């Protein structure tokens, strides 16, 4: 690769992909994108990127292809087949999948890509929409050291904490652990909110002082206003956290790790989704606790 910045193709311009790709444009990268929604393509063009009409068109000239789609089936759909990334990207390109998917899917993708001369990193993120906008994401990476080193400047335009966790799939395993911790943390906060309100304590004051002590967390900082205002606009959709609880439950079973509290929270997430709240932010776990506590919400 020359001294010029690598040419980027970005597939998947959703809640995370749009602001992340815009941060690369701000950092001087040439970004060509493709996604399913026309308005998101227009947003990319307005930010200084190039909207492509297909995956093939987006990836054809790219040095680095970045993907940020919902789950394993979408990663497979955009990667494989005659219209997919592996068939249409040039040999020598680096494919960085930043979606949160199963570790096995990442391992399989790396193997299939190798046959085409394409290198792969799994690089899921944590930090939510706000972290994406502010370019302060935590990025957990699986793959080869040399590929990680090449991708580092790109990651530095997107996040603050950037760690190579091990071979292919390791980034996804760490992300699964992240999602376990976040879900359990939100659930504990939601239970505290209902308990505090029913006890007649000033909720705002309580959350402020709690966040200054050992109970404080990034979850409480980022989701405080969602709890106070019952604002459940996503953010991170319950549907996606349901997917992630499935990933961590399955991965833990495979290695014989027991997740008793995680299993209960996975059920609460599934129940919330079954009740029609799958499109809400994951802070809507509060609604599940409220219902269990007798509220009609």
Cα within 13 Å of Cα(50), Cβ side: 16
Alpha-carbon span 251 to 43, nearest angstrom: 37
Q: Which of 236, 238, 245, 259 is the binder for ligand NAD (CB under 6 A)? A: 236
Q: Considering the complex, what minimum distance in angstroms separates the CB of residue 99 from ligand NAD?
A: 4
Residue of 7, 40, 175, 198 with catalytic role = 175
Binding mask 53-92 for ligand NAD (x = CB under 6 A): ---------------xxxx--x--xx--------------
Q: Considering the complex, what minimum distance in angstroms separates the CB of residue 254 from ligand NAD?
A: 20
Q: Which of 15, 59, 151, 272 is the binder for ligand NAD (CB under 6 A)? A: 15
Residue listed under structure tokens 């993907």: 67
Beta partners for residue 159, in sequence order: 137
The single-letter DSSP state of residue 30 is -
Cα within 13 Å of Cα(282), Cβ side: 32
**Distances 132 to 16, 137, 157 between C-alpha atoms, Å:** 6, 6, 10
Nearer to ligand NAD, 103 or 128 (CB): 128
Structure tokens at 277: 């709240």
Determine, following the binding rule CB under 6 A, whether residue 16 of this chain makes contact with ligand NAD: yes
Query: CA geometry: angle at 260 spanning 222 and 187, to 5°?
Result: 25
Residue listed under structure tokens 């709890």: 227
Q: Considering the complex, what minimum distance in angstroms separates the CB of residue 137 from ligand NAD?
A: 8
Q: Which of 128, 142, 171, 278 is the binder for ligand NAD (CB under 6 A)? A: 128
- Count of Cβ atoms closer than 10 Å to residue 234 Cβ: 18
Determine, following the binding rule CB under 6 A, whether residue 136 of this chain makes contact with ligand NAD: no
Q: Considering the complex, what minimum distance in angstroms separates the CB of residue 179 from ligand NAD?
A: 8
Structure tokens at 150: 């090449």
Q: Which of 13, 95, 189, 252 is the binder for ligand NAD (CB under 6 A)? A: 13
Query: CA geometry: angle at 152 spanning 151 and 153, to 5°?
Result: 95
Does the annotation mark 175 as catalytic? yes
Query: CA geometry: angle at 185 spanning 277 and 206, to 5°?
Result: 100
Q: Considering the complex, what minimum distance in angstroms separates the CB of residue 239 from ligand NAD?
A: 9
161-190 residues near ligand NAD, rule: CB under 6 A = none
Determine, following the binding rule CB under 6 A, whether residue 36 of this chain makes contact with ligand NAD: yes
**Catalytic site positions:** 175
Residues making contact with ligand NAD (CB under 6 A): 11-17, 34-37, 40, 68-71, 74, 77-78, 99-100, 125-126, 128-129, 235-236, 240
């Amino acid at each position: 690769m020359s001294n010029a910045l690598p040419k980027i193709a970005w597939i998947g311009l959703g809640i995370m992909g749009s602001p992340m790709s815009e941060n690369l444009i701000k950092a001087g990268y040439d970004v060509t994108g493709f996604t399913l929604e026309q308005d998101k393509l227009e947003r990319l063009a307005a930010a200084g990127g190039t909207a492509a009409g297909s995956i093939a068109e987006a990836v054809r000239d790219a040095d680095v292809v970045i993907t940020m789609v919902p789950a394993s089936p979408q990663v497979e759909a955009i990667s494989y087949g005659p219209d997919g990334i592996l068939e249409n990207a040039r040999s020598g390109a680096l494919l960085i999948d930043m979606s949160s998917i199963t570790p096995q899917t990442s391992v399989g993708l790396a193997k299939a890509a190798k046959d085409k001369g394409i290198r792969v990193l799994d690089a899921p993120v944590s930090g939510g929409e706000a972290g994406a906008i502010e370019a302060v994401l935590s990025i957990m990476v699986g793959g080869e050291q040399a590929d990680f080193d090449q991708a580092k400047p790109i990651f530095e335009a997107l996040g603050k904490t950037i760690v190579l966790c091990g071979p292919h799939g390791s980034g996804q395993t760490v992300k699964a652990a992240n999602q376990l911790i976040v879900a359990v943390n939100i659930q504990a906060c939601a239970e505290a909110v209902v308990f505090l309100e029913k006890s007649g304590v000033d909720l705002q004051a309580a959350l402020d002082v709690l966040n200054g002590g050992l109970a404080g967390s990034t979850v409480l900082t980022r989701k405080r206003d969602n709890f106070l205002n019952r604002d459940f606009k996503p953010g991170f959709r319950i549907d996606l956290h349901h997917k992630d609880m499935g990933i961590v439950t399955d991965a833990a079973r495979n290695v014989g790790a027991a997740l008793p509290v995680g299993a209960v929270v996975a059920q609460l997430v599934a129940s919330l989704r079954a009740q029609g709240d799958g499109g809400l932010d994951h802070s809507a776990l509060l609604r599940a606790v409220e219902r269990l506590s007798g509220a009609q919400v």
